[in-house]
Structures are given as C-alpha cells and as structure tokens.
Structure 1
Amino acid sequence: MLNLEDVLANGLQHPEAGWNMGSFGAIAEFHHVGDEVPPQHSEPLTQVTARGGVRIERLEGVRPVAYETLSPRAHRWSQAVSLCLPEGDAMMHRRDVLTELGPDDEALRDDDRGAILFDMGLAQPQVDFCIRTNDKDLLAILRENAGRSLMEHGNPAMPAILKAHPHRVALTKIGRLEVFQMIGGPDTGGVSPEGPHTHVLPKLLRAGRTHSANTPIPEGWVPCAGFHPENPVFDRMGQDKDFNRKAFDAFQTLLQAWGPDDYLAAKANCWAALEKGQEPDGVAEPASRTGRAGLRNGLRQWRRLHADSALLDRWSVAFDASTMPDEAEDENPGH
C-alpha cells in the first residue's frame, strides 16, 4: 500500500516534479529550473529555492486523486496527483476585498517573516491568494486601498502590485506555496518567468469553480494542492522528450492506487483489445468524460509502449482523431 507522505517527500526531492496551489483562475506554481542546485533535503515536506518554495503542512484527512488528462497534442498526455479535502474542510476565508493580514510569521524563509501579508480579495473557495511585501511605497498604496476590490475600475493598487512585483503566497488548509519571482507581464516580456510563477485570470475567477471540469475530483471533495511527478513525454519547459519508461511506470503505480475507476477500466479495456488484435468496429466509446480520456490516453500510451501499427491507427482514427476542445487540458494552465 502506498504511503502518501513518502510519495510526497520523494517528489519534493525530484528535480522534474512540480507543485501548485490555487483554484480555477488563481494558481501559484513551483518547480525547479536547470541552473539551480538539485533539490536538497530540508524540513519535512518542504522545498525552498531562491525563486520560490512549497510546504505541505497537513495530511490528516487528505485524499490523493491521481489522474491523467488529454493534451491538445495527440502524442501527449498530462498527469498529476491532487491532494483533496472534503468540501467543508477545504474552504478558506473567501475575502472579496484587499485585506491586510499583518506580518507573515509562517513564511518559508526567516528573512520574509517581518514582511506584511495582504489577501488580494479574490474570494476563491480553497485558497487565500495573497501578496507579501516590505516595500514602503507599495505598503502605503495597499493600505490606502484596503477594503476595495482589486478588480474595481480605477483602483491604483493593482497597477502598483504589477509594478512592484511583491511575493505571492497561496495559503490552503494543507499548506502554502510562495513565489519570489517577478509577476509575468510587461516587465517580463509578457511571459511568466521560468520556474515558480503565478497566474490570476479574472475570466476564470468569475466561474467560481474549484477546479477544471477535466480534473476527475470526486463529488464533495476539493483539490487543495497539486503534485506533478515527472512527465514521461515532455519536460518541465513543455518540450517533447524521448519516452521515459521509468517515469511512466512510476506514475502508473500512483494511478492504480489513487486513480478513477472508470478511467482505469477504459484504459485497461483498450489495452486488452489491442493485445488481442481486436478491431475498433462495434466498440462503444465510454459514456463518461473520464472514461473517454482513459480510452484516448490508453491509445497514446500504447503507441509509446508498442510503436506504430495499422491496427492502432484504426483505433486512433475511431476514437482519438480529434479531441474535443472542452475535454483537453492546457499543459501550461493558468487555472
């Protein structure tokens, strides 16, 4: 039986693993970059670099949900483990205005514990999305506009935040993730910096959802953090790489233990049919979104495991020729 703490501890030491905390519209992401010192053992379930850090503070009551999602690119798939809590236990403060919280005494680094934490007031269910600063000019503007929505037309606080690049801190019931790098925008050439970064997307925030519809979170549960083990077909910069069978097998172990039954069944049925040489004619497509993803990813993975074949091509034409836009997942999401 898998031990969740051991899995996460090993993941925190893996240079190709990634982490996130947030919601559908506001997310903070952490991963290592190539020029950094490899991950070092530190405090339990904690990893900090010069660019950001993550700490898992609670596992009691946490349900891991492992899953693979469809990529818009037909030769790929994404994978993750969501760390979930029951809905009532996962909820944070849902403040809807800029709010000063005081010194961040729980900051990952000692030097940051005197800086002032502000909830941005994004009103997200499972995360208090915050900024942290000791910049006097920024503090003055934030305090002048506390109690107002950052999305309010003409509020000077948001432009000041984008200019000053304060730390971003995502707080959940199971831990925190901090980003020390600049905010992606005009000062970074319009792209997020390599490594830890954040996304705040107002259009998605308005949906008021806790997660993407393509993430198979069980009813009544809410994802509070995401763990992304090494992907076997593309690297942390999103570039294709040679198939890594070791990384693939490692995630399949997690998937078998913590994955959705309908996904696992659809993929197993697909592989069994291909093993027997069965034609796709007359095979029914799974009824559920999760099952359809299992079938399609099963075809993509069979190709990596067993190479091309005319039979596999016929299955792909039948079931994976065109992925519906709402059933594929952005590989570099801001959700």
Structure 2
Amino acid sequence: MTNLEQILHDAMAHPEAGWNMGSFGAIAEFHHVRDEAPRLPIMSGTPQSPDTPLSQVSTRGGLRLDTLKNVRPVAYETLSPKAHRWSQGVALCLPEAEAAMSRRSVLTELGPDAAALRPEDRGAILFDMGLAQPQVDFCIRTDDAALIDVLRAAEGASLMDPANPAMGAILKAHPHRVALTKLGRVEVFQPIGGPDTDGTSPEGPHTHVLPKLLRAARTHSANTPIPEGWVPCAGFHPENPVIGRLGEDKPLNRAAFDGFQELLRDWGPPEYVEAKAACWAALEQGTAPKTVDEPATRIGRTGLRNGLRQWRRLHGDSPLAAAWSAHFDNTAVPQNAVDETAEP
C-alpha cells in the first residue's frame, strides 16, 4: 500500500507538484514557479508523523499540512476538453462532520494571525470573508491600517452585498489570502487576479473566488469522485504527464504517468480503475469497439475514455484506436467541466 506521508513529504519539494485548499467557488492554490527556490525548507529527513506539519513557503505563497489524522486520499483522473489530455489529482478527505469549519456568512475579524507561515505575518490581522463554505474559512490578512479601518467598519455585513465598500477596497489593496481547513492552510501573497493584473491570475500561488459557483453550495466539483460522506479538505496534484505547469502541451512523461497510476490503483474509485483496465485489455487484444459495452456509470465511462486517451499517448495512433475514439470519445467535454489551471 502506498504510504501517504511519504508521498506528500516527497511532493513538497517537487517543482511540478501543485496544491490547493478550498471549496467549489473559493480556492487557494500553491504552485512552484520555475527556478524559484523555496524561502523556507520542507521538513527534512524521514516522513513526519500524521501530526507533524509539512510545509513549503516561497516569496509568493505557501502551504502547511498540520495533520493527516483520519485522512482518506482519493486519487482521480478527469476528462479534458482536449481529446489528447486528461487531468489528475489526489483529494485529501475527511468525514463530513470532521471537515466542518465555521461557515461564517458575514465579514468577521479574527485577530492577529498567530499561526501564519512566516514570522513577519503573525501580527497582521486576519478577517474571515464570510463565504459560508462547509470545509474552508476563506480569509484575508493585512497590516494596512487604511484597509483594516474599512474592513472593521463593514464587519458583520456580507461582502457580496453590492453596497458594501469592503470588496472594492480588498481588490484595490491586494491583501494576503489565507484558506484554512482542518488539515492546514494555504497562503497567497501575490496580487488578486483582476484589473491590476490584466485580468489574469499571476503565475504561481493564486486564488479564485467565484460567486456564481459559491451559490451552488457544493463542497467540490461534480467531476471529482469523492465518496459519499467525505469532504475534500486539501488537494494534491502530482506532475501531470502531458500538461505543463502553465497549461501547455508537453511530451508524455512516462515516469510521471506510471507514478500516478500507482496512486490510482491504491486510492482511485474501483469503477474507474476497472473500466480503464478493461479498455486497455480490449485494445491489447484487438477487440472491435462495437463489440464492447459502454460502462453503465458516468465514472466508468470516464475511465474508458481516459483509458483510450492514455493508450494513444502510450502506444501511438492506429486504425483500431481511431475507431475506438470515434465510437466512445467523440462527445465534446464542456470547457468548464475541468479546471486544468488547478494543477501544474
């Protein structure tokens, strides 16, 4: 069985790994930036116990996993809108009751952030944005006196109220964003994506707060196969074997592919793993696609389609693979079905 602590310990130093904490509509992501050395080292030596933090901090942001107690890892692959690609990740889940955070619905001052990743940030004031998300307290942190005055004047009101001036002040001042879950935190020091960044998120650590998605009141995307009764409290994205850190295509990295398949075998949904294995076996035997029954479940169909995409990347194109693609993988994937920017 794959050792979770060892996997996460090793991934902290991997330049192609990505991380996130949040919910469906409010997420904080930590990614390395090429050639940028971490400001603070990860815990070194042997893997830590489930209650010893693992952390990584750069000049742009950082993360810390405070505990892995009772965590259930769920490995998954999702379809990409581009038929030669797929996305992948590992959700670190807790039982629903254990995952619950404060669910504050109004802007709330929490005081100095004594648990901040960097000592110089521990005197800055933390404010819960009041997004009322089940498994994350999505916060901002600042030592800007003018911004603090605005936030304190707006405390107890919803940031989503168009009449509340606090959101405009936040977007102008670019305070740190801090996502807190029962497993730890992600901090982002970079500017908020918007008018000051030409409408794009900066490279590396960044955040997304999307009111339309927040209104769905979901803990996670429907494309992520989280078992019933469990809630993802952190996300880990090992190096994608076909997508670069900026979303570009890259030649297949076989070592990265094989490494994730081991995680998928141990932590992936059985229906998905079985459907993909059946697809590969049928292709190996030269079976015509019209003689194969499509899986009855959505997750099984996703396993078949991704299995086919991966077969073509591993073995190259052939008339048989093309016939399978035409039969099973000719339905467009909605552009918003997956967020490929959520992993490097």
TM-score normalised by length of structure 2 = 0.95
Within the candidate set 219, 222, 227, 2:228 is matched to 219
- Residue in 2 that maps onto 1:257: 266
CA, structure 1 residues 312+174, in 2 after alignment: closer, same or farther (shift >3 Å)? Answer: same
Give 1:39 shift.
Answer: 8.3
Q: Would you say the 8 A contact 2:38–2:57 is kept in 1?
A: no
Is 1:91 paired with 2:94?
A: no
Whole-angstrom distance in 2 between the partners of 1:179 and 1:91: 22
Is 1:16 paired with 2:21?
A: no
Structure 2 counterpart of 1:9, one-letter code: H
Whole-angstrom distance in 2 between the partners of 1:149 and 1:16: 37
Any gaps of 5 or more consecutive residues in structure 1?
none
CA, structure 1 residues 39+308, in 2 after alignment: closer, same or farther (shift >3 Å)? Answer: farther
Any gaps of 5 or more consecutive residues in structure 2?
44-52
- Residue in 1 that maps onto 2:119: 110
Is 1:318 paired with 2:334?
A: no
Q: Would you say the 8 A contact 1:145–1:157 is kept in 2?
A: yes
2:289 partner SS:
coil
Give 1:153 shift.
Answer: 1.8
Whole-angstrom distance in 2 between the partners of 1:318 and 1:267: 16
Q: 1:296-311 maps to which residues of 2 (within 5 A)?
A: 296-311=305-320
Q: 1:178-193 maps to which residues of 2 (within 5 A)?
A: 178-193=187-202
Within the candidate set 267, 277, 285, 1:268 is matched to 277
- Residue in 2 that maps onto 1:122: 131
Structure 2 counterpart of 1:27, one-letter code: I
Deviations 1:24-53 (A, max 9, x none): 000000011114126874334100000000
Q: Would you say the 8 A contact 1:131–1:167 is kept in 2?
A: yes
Give 1:144 shift.
Answer: 0.3
- Residue in 2 that maps onto 1:197: 206
Q: Would you say the 8 A contact 1:86–1:220 is kept in 2?
A: yes
Whole-angstrom distance in 2 between the partners of 1:323 and 1:287: 19
Q: 1:1-335 maps to which residues of 2 (within 5 A)?
A: 1-37=1-37, 41-43=41-43, 44-325=53-334, 328-332=337-341
Structure 1 counterpart of 2:37, one-letter code: V
Q: Would you say the 8 A contact 1:138–1:161 is kept in 2?
A: yes
Q: Would you say the 8 A contact 1:13–1:39 is kept in 2?
A: no
CA, structure 1 residues 38+177, in 2 after alignment: closer, same or farther (shift >3 Å)? Answer: closer
Structure 1 counterpart of 2:329, one-letter code: D
TM-score normalised by length of structure 1 = 0.97
Aligned length, in residue pairs: 334
Deviations 1:43-95 (A, max 9, x none): 34100000000000111100000000000000000000000000011010000
Whole-angstrom distance in 2 between the partners of 1:55 and 1:74: 35
Whole-angstrom distance in 2 between the partners of 1:219 and 1:326: 26
Deviations 1:285-325 (A, max 9, x none): 11211111100000000001111100000000000012342
Q: Would you say the 8 A contact 1:263–1:293 is kept in 2?
A: yes
Whole-angstrom distance in 2 between the partners of 1:275 and 1:328: 30
Whole-angstrom distance in 1 between the partners of 2:158 and 2:253: 46
Whole-angstrom distance in 2 between the partners of 1:192 and 1:328: 19
Percent identical: 71
Q: Would you say the 8 A contact 2:106–2:155 is kept in 1?
A: yes
